[in-house]
Amino acid sequence: MKLSPKERLDKDLALIERGVEEIIGIEDLKRKLLRFYQTGKPLVVKEGFDPSAPDIHLGHTVTLRKLRQFQDLGHQVVFLIGDFTGRIGDPSGRSETRRQLTEEEVKQNAQTYAQQVSKILDLQKTIIEFNSKWLSKLTLADLIEITSRITVARMLEREDFAKRLKTGKPVGLHEFLYPVMQAYDSVALQADVELGGRDQRFNLLVGRDLQRELGQEPQVVITMPLLEGTDGVEKMSKSLGNYIGIDEPPFTMFGKVMSIPDSLIEKYFLLVTDVSVEEIQKMKTEYEKGELHPRDWKKRLAFEIVRMYHGEKEAILSQEDFERAFTRKEMPEEAHEIVIPSSLLREGKIWILRLLQETGVSSSNAELRRLIEQGGVYFNGERISNVNTDLPIQDGDYLKVGKKDFFRIKLEG
């Protein structure tokens, strides 16, 4: 049965509002959607990504998934790579000036983006743009005209700038240009909607203001919550080591999800899975009544996330391996035995890097260090993240390295 415009609006808004922190211009959004139903002209929905790091993790997917929802509703998504603004550096949430990236660093980091976002967005329905396309062509006269529309007082409303000035820390003049240039992206694209994390609120609002100043219909601003990482405290970040990358091996991904605090299970379900709100609420109620163990709830979460990025078969295998290795304390059938000479031990302990060398998984110490630092090494079910760790070792201990390499340890003599 064909829905009326009002019924369709209610249905679409229910999807758009899932997990959203704030919609600024909700009446504008309703009007734009109703116009879309009448004319068939899709809304232009943009999000910008500064290629400061080449890897996309679950924290990034919170907004990417919202973009996909707009795609599914028939709208035009613009995945904007800030190759020009990335050379300035976004000051959002920064207590000091961000190091400027070189043009070469930006290009290198941007190379893997399309392949990674294809796991979330329909690339056939996605426009991938680089903002150097228009920003690099601006003349000094253009810049003067654009910046004349925004006051210094407006810039100082930004909490990051205000804090730094109050504590005597410098604010570079080029940092004022970042929100202005991001705002101009919205003008260049004639964006109807711009998405971003909560920490992007100021930048997104400047875009809304600049569009209005330059005679365009102002964009709707949609902000999403920031996703805490595996530590349960800080925003997910590769630099903090608390991230879950969407390109990580299935077993590693499963294990990392299982390591998040119980308090984040519901939030992860809501923001990074397709499980319905009704089912999430049902599981939450069962959890609160003690009918659903948090471990089982978390296993369902880990399964859903691995399935989304690696398929159902890998999700099943990862869960089975996890249960063998961590729940039942059993080794998978494909485990290898490694013999550790007693000469390598010091007071019954062995350096983790030396232990990994004995496995033969890599002859490169740099690669082994990377595995440790990225959370790909487990000893007796516990993740090892410090390359300086000395492990007390006994016969029967086991080691997991990378995707599915399991080793049972046998001490010589």
What is the reported pTM?
A: 0.74
The CATH homologous superfamily of the domain defined by 250-327: Tyrosyl-Transfer RNA Synthetase (1.10.240.10)
Q: Could you tell me which residues are beta bridge partners of residue 382?
A: 379
**Which range is least confidently modeled, 88-97, 206-215, 218-227?**
88-97
Q: 3-state DSSP call for residue 252?
A: helix
Question: What sections of 360-407 are H helices per DSSP?
Answer: 365-373
pLDDT at 329 over 60: no
The CATH homologous superfamily of the domain defined by 5-224: HUPs (3.40.50.620)
Q: 3-state DSSP call for residue 404?
A: coil
Q: What is the pLDDT of residue 101?
A: 65
Position 61: which residue type?
T
The stretch 248-264 carries a mean pLDDT of: 88
Highest mean pLDDT among 145-149, 299-303, 390-394 belongs to 299-303
CA 288, 292, 294, 300 torsion-angle sign: negative
CA 122 vs. chain centroid, Å, equals: 18
**Which range is least confidently modeled, 80-89, 108-117, 220-229, 271-280?**
108-117
Q: What is the pLDDT of residue 53?
A: 64
Length of the chain: 413
Kindly state the percentage of the chain with pLDDT values over 70: 91
pLDDT at 110 over 80: no
Q: What are phi and psi of 398, to 5 degrees?
A: -130, 155
Query: Which of 289-319 are b and which e, b meaning 16 or more Cβ less than 10 Å from the residue's Cβ?
Result: eeebeeeebbbbbbbbbbbbbbeeebbebbb
Q: What is the pLDDT of residue 326?
A: 66
Same topology, domains 5-224 and 336-411? Answer is: no
**Which range is least confidently modeled, 106-120, 209-223, 269-283?**
106-120
- Report pLDDT digits (tens) over 52-99: 666 789 999 999 999 999 999 999 999 998 888 876 755 554 444 445
Q: What is the pLDDT of residue 139?
A: 95
pLDDT at 410 over 60: yes
pLDDT at 397 over 70: yes
Q: What is the pLDDT of residue 96?
A: 46
The stretch 195-208 carries a mean pLDDT of: 92
Lookup: tokens for 45: 């929905």
What rounded mean pLDDT belongs to the chain?
86
- Report pLDDT digits (tens) over 357-380: 888 888 788 888 888 888 788 887
- Report pLDDT digits (tens) over 347-360: 888 898 888 888 88
The stretch 212-227 carries a mean pLDDT of: 96
- Report pLDDT digits (tens) over 150-193: 888 888 877 777 788 888 888 888 788 888 999 999 999 999 99
- Going by pLDDT thresholds of 50, 70 and 90, the confidence category of residue 310 is very high
The stretch 275-304 carries a mean pLDDT of: 93
- CA 413/CA 411 separation, integer angstroms: 6
pLDDT at 395 over 70: yes
- CA 33/CA 25 separation, integer angstroms: 12
- Going by pLDDT thresholds of 50, 70 and 90, the confidence category of residue 30 is very high
**Which range is least confidently modeled, 117-126, 222-231, 289-298, 329-338?**
329-338
Q: What are phi and psi of 85, to 5 degrees?
A: -65, -25
- CA 253/CA 120 separation, integer angstroms: 16
Question: How crowded is residue 271: how many other Cβ atoms within 10 Å of its Cβ?
Answer: 22
- Does the domain made of 336-411 have the CATH classification 1.10.287.3510? no
pLDDT at 42 over 70: yes
Q: What is the pLDDT of residue 263?
A: 92
- Going by pLDDT thresholds of 50, 70 and 90, the confidence category of residue 267 is very high
* Domain map (residue ranges) of the chain: 5-224, 250-327, 336-411
Q: Say if residues 390 and 349 touch (Cβ distance below 8 Å).
A: yes
Q: What is the pLDDT of residue 94?
A: 46
The angle formed by the CA atoms of residues 352, 355 and 357, to the nearest 5 degrees, is 115
- CA 196/CA 266 separation, integer angstroms: 21
